[in-house]
Amino acid sequence: MFYISAYLEARRDEYYERLLAVSRDGSWTEWCVFFLQALTEQARGNEQKSSAILKLYERERDRILNLTRSQYAIKALDFLFYRPIFSASAFYMEADIPSPSARKMMKILRENGFFKTLRETKGRYPAILAFRELLNIAEGRQVF
pLDDT per residue over 85-129, tens digit each? 999 899 999 999 999 999 999 999 999 999 999 999 889 898 899
**Alpha-carbon gap, residue 121 to 132, rounded angstroms:** 18
Q: If pLDDT is split at 50, 70 and 90, which confidence band does 142 have? A: confident
What is the assigned CATH class of domain 4-139? mainly alpha
Helical (H) or strand (E) element with 8: helix 4-10
* CA pair distance 82, 124, nearest whole angstrom: 25
Per residue in 16-52, pLDDT (tens digit) is: 999 999 999 999 999 999 999 999 999 998 899 999 9
